[in-house]
Structure formats: C-alpha cells, structure tokens
C-alpha cells in the first residue's frame, strides 16, 4: 500500500506567489542565490538558503544559518506572506516546460513506509548533506521543500487530477526560466477520499529526486518518535510532504560527463584503447540516438561510441545502465576514474545545459566530454525494485519543482 494524507498547507498570498517561488536549495549555489534574491524580500530562498542573509564568511553549516531559516519562515507566516489553508486538502501541482506537461499530487507520505521499503530509493545519500537538511527540518519544524516522488500511473488517479485541473487554479505563474507552475486545491471530500483509497492500492512509491530531503524528513520523524511517550503512529512527524507524479508524465534528461585529462594517453592511443569495448564511428549528431550509444567530443569533433555486445551484463538493472557501461568500460579502466563520487578529474553536466556546454568545457581546457542517452523511469524503478542503487549522477529530472508554493509545518 501507499498511505497518503491531506494537510493544511501554508501557501503564498496570491499576489506574491511569483515572487515567493524559488529554485530548490540544491540546484543553485549560495552566490547564485544571493544574486537572485536581490531586491526581492519575499523569495523563498531566504528560507531554503538562509545563508544569503548572513555575512558570506559565516560557514554554511553554522548554527546561525539554521536559526536564520527558522526566523525567516516564521516571519513570512506572521506577516501574511504565507497563509494557512482553512482545512486539510490535497493539491495538484502542474509544471509546463515547452510542450512537456506534468501534474503531480501534493500530499503527506509515510515515514514508516519509507522505513519498510515501500517508498523506494535509487541513490545513496551523503551524510554531510543529510545532516544539513535534517538540521533545517528540525530547526524550522517544517517540510519547507517537497520531496519528488513517482508512482506507476493509474487511469483513475489521472481522472481526479484532470478534474481538478479543469477548475480555476489558485496560482498560475511563469518563472524567469520560462517554466509554468500552476496549483489547484483539491478540497472535495469525495475526491480526497477516493485519492486516498486509490493510492492505498499502489504497491510502492519511488523517490525520483530529493533523496536527502526524504532522508532528513525520516530522521526527523524517527527522532521525535523516540521522544513520544504515547506514540500512535499517526503523529504529524510520521509524515512528510511530497509531490507524487505518475511515471508516464515524467521527463529524465541526460546527465553527461567531462574529464580533465586522458590519463597520460596520447589521443590516438586513447582511441585505440576505446576500440576494445566500443565501435567508434564519426557522429552524425552530438547526442546519442539510442541506449548504449555515447557521444564523445575529442579533438574538436564528435564521435559515436556504441557498446559492443558482451562487454556488459544486459540483464543486470544496474550494470546494464548506460552510465555503468561508460564507467565500467572506459572511465574506470582507461581514464583511471575509479570513484566518480570523489575523483576531481571528472565533472557532471546536466542535460538541460545542452551539448554546447560540453564543447565549451573542452575548449576551456578539459580533455574529453561524453554525452549519454537518458536513463528511463522504467530503468529507475527496476533498480529500486531490485533494492539496488544507481551510480552517481545517473538522472537529471526537468523541470525542477519550485519551492515556497506549498509549505507544511510539522506541528499542524
């Protein structure tokens, strides 16, 4: 089952929604956040990245940063920037990027189900980042930014979501990156009950993006559970806020690689080594057109690499991924990048930046760049279902959720 609950969101006063909505904490740097927040006292960056309101010399994990985030959130509530919903509701959050549209249900999901493996993950988390988000959640006593989950689509859920989208939204804004964000309130008692029932029939939910936010919410729930003398399992801290999207609407983009040097090899020797595991041909385009193909920018031109049969276990949900094939047959054995999580010789470029960014990086001094075919939702779910995790930087979801449109205080 997948247990969900409605909740009373704090959401922006309608005339301020466009100014409140901000990038999530993990897609921009502190410097970028400071620049974006200039002249805008309402942006949710003051809550998600509160270091922007302190002297730049203050360390990112300083106690003052977490205290400032709590102060800013409470100030927004006290000043009416964020208003509290009258009754518990579900919400529909739609995003439009060009011709791509995706609409998810905003709800509360269960800490216990995450613990039991019914909310499945596909990535490891880093302890420092997990600790940081846990401090923000505990200091603010809030799920300030939603987790991004996915489920295998069901027609009956789509029908209720579509019915909500036929009504007038509470917000309909376009952010500076050209992406549309629209929110509807689902307050009809019968629709809410039916959504709860239908999700209860789903065998699992999947963390698509936001593994650190999920882990932080779970750690918060576990800590408060341990302090509860009369624990029932239905306390507010046993749930966290998420946007849950059907898998057939989500869009994963490529997550590409650039490497600083050829590990001591001359370009021709490097090409010769690649030929053992890949067929190498001139590339008709900078992006691969199918799985197990790769674009390689070297020597000022693009090459097409096609993985040879037998060089990877095609039936393994992790080792058969394109990112694993590239790592196992080229980045590791030829370029000497054994741990891409920690090796400073490699960097990762999200597909939203395009392959022109890869060419730019090589022209700036990096030795070689690789464009990958995007991982699919089917592959992501297969890895999670197998209880395994993907290699680092396997998926890049677009569009990104905006923070501040819906906030949940854990005490409510």
Express each pLDDT in 44-75 by its tens digit: 999 999 999 999 999 999 999 999 999 999 99
Please report whether residue 232 resides in a domain. yes
Please report whether residue 287 resides in a domain. yes
- Number of residues that make up the chain: 412
Cα Rg of the chain (Å, integer): 22
77 and 167 housed in the same domain: yes
Provide the pLDDT for residue 129. 87
97 and 162 housed in the same domain: yes
148 and 226 housed in the same domain: yes
| Residue 412: pLDDT over 70 | no
3-state helix, strand and coil shares in percent for the chain, rounded to the nearest 5: 35, 25, 40
Residues in contact with 325: Cβ distance below 8 Å, sequence separation at least 6, in sequence order: 292, 307, 311, 312, 319
Provide the pLDDT for residue 260. 98
104 and 168 housed in the same domain: yes
Please report whether residue 384 resides in a domain. no
Mean pLDDT within 80-88: 97
State how far the Cα of 61 lies from the Cα of 319, in Å rounded to an integer: 36
- In this structure, the strands spanning 171-174 and 205-209 are unpaired
| Residue 262: pLDDT over 90 | yes
State how far the Cα of 195 lies from the Cα of 261, in Å rounded to an integer: 53
Rounded (10°) CA dihedral 157, 374, 381, 116: -100
The whole-model pTM stands at 0.92
Please report whether residue 157 resides in a domain. yes
State how far the Cα of 238 lies from the Cα of 228, in Å rounded to an integer: 11
Provide the pLDDT for residue 128. 86
Please report whether residue 385 resides in a domain. no
Express each pLDDT in 351-371 by its tens digit: 888 999 999 999 999 999 999
Contact indicator for 325, 305 with CB cutoff of 8 Å: no
The CATH number of the domain where 365 resides is what? 3.30.1760
Please report whether residue 367 resides in a domain. yes
| Residue 251: pLDDT over 70 | yes
Total structural domains within the chain: 2
> Please, which pLDDT band fits residue 233 given cuts at 50, 70 and 90?
confident
196 and 302 housed in the same domain: no
And the tokens for 351? Answer: 């597909």
222 and 306 housed in the same domain: no
Residue with tokens 């890895």: 383
And the tokens for 75? Answer: 């100030």
342 and 231 housed in the same domain: no
Express each pLDDT in 296-327 by its tens digit: 999 999 999 999 999 999 999 999 999 999 99
Please report whether residue 115 resides in a domain. yes
In which domain, by residue range, is 304 found?
255-373
Please report whether residue 380 resides in a domain. no
Mean pLDDT within 77-84: 98
Provide the pLDDT for residue 1. 80
Contact indicator for 405, 183 with CB cutoff of 8 Å: yes
And the tokens for 19? Answer: 């100014």
Share of the chain above pLDDT 90, in %: 89
275 and 216 housed in the same domain: no
62 and 125 housed in the same domain: yes
301 and 168 housed in the same domain: no
Among the ranges given (27-36, 133-142, 193-202, 221-230), the one the predictor scored with the smallest mean pLDDT: 221-230
| Residue 37: pLDDT over 80 | yes
* Closest by Cα among 231, 31, 24 to 148: 24
Residue with tokens 């047959």: 329
State how far the Cα of 261 lies from the Cα of 253, in Å rounded to an integer: 26
Beta bridge partners of 89: 7
121 and 19 housed in the same domain: yes
89 and 236 housed in the same domain: yes
State how far the Cα of 144 lies from the Cα of 403, in Å rounded to an integer: 7
């Amino acid at each position: 089952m997948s247990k969900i609950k409605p909740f009373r969101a704090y959401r922006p006063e309608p005339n301020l929604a466009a100014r409140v909505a901000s990038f999530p904490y993990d897609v921009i740097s502190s410097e970028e956040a400071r620049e974006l927040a200039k002249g805008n006292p309402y942006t949710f960056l003051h809550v998600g990245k509160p270091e922007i309101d302190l002297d730049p010399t203050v360390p990112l994990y300083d106690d003052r940063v977490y205290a400032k985030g709590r102060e800013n959130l409470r100030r927004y509530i006290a000043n009416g920037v964020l208003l509290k919903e009258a009754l518990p509701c579900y919400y529909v959050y739609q995003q439009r990027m060009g011709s791509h549209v995706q609409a998810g249900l905003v709800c509360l999901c269960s800490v216990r189900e995450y613990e039991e493996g019914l909310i499945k993950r596909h990535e490891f988390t880093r302890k420092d980042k997990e600790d940081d988000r846990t401090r923000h959640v505990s200091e603010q006593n809030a799920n300030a930014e939603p987790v991004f989950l996915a489920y295998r689509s069901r027609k009956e859920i789509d029908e209720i979501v579509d019915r909500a989208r036929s009504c007038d939204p509470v917000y309909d804004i376009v952010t500076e990156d050209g992406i549309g964000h629209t929110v509807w309130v689902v307050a009809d008692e019968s629709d809410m009950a039916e959504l709860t029932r239908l999700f209860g029939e789903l065998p699992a939910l999947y963390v698509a993006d936001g593994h650190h936010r999920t882990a932080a919410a779970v750690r918060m729930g576990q800590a408060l559970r341990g302090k509860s003398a009369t624990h029932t399992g239905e306390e507010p801290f046993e749930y966290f806020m998420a946007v849950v999207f059907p898998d057939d609407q989500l869009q994963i983009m490529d997550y590409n690689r650039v490497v600083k040097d050829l590990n001591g090899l001359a370009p021709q020797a490097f090409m010769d080594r690649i030929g053992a595991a890949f067929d190498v041909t001139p590339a008709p385009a900078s992006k691969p057109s199918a799985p197990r193909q790769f674009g390689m920018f070297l020597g000022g031109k693009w090459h097409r690499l096609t993985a040879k049969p037998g060089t990877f276990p095609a039936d393994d949900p992790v080792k058969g991924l394109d990112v694993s094939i590239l790592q196992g047959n080229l980045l590791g054995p030829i370029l000497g990048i054994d741990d891409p999580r920690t090796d400073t010789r490699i960097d990762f470029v999200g597909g939203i930046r395009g392959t022109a960014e890869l060419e730019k990086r090589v022209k700036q001094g990096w030795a070689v760049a690789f464009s990958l075919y995007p991982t699919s939702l089917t592959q992501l779910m297969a890895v999670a279902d197998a209880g395994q995790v993907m290699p680092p930087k396997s998926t890049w979801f677009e569009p990104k959720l905006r923070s501040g449109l819906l906030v949940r205080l854990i005490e409510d």
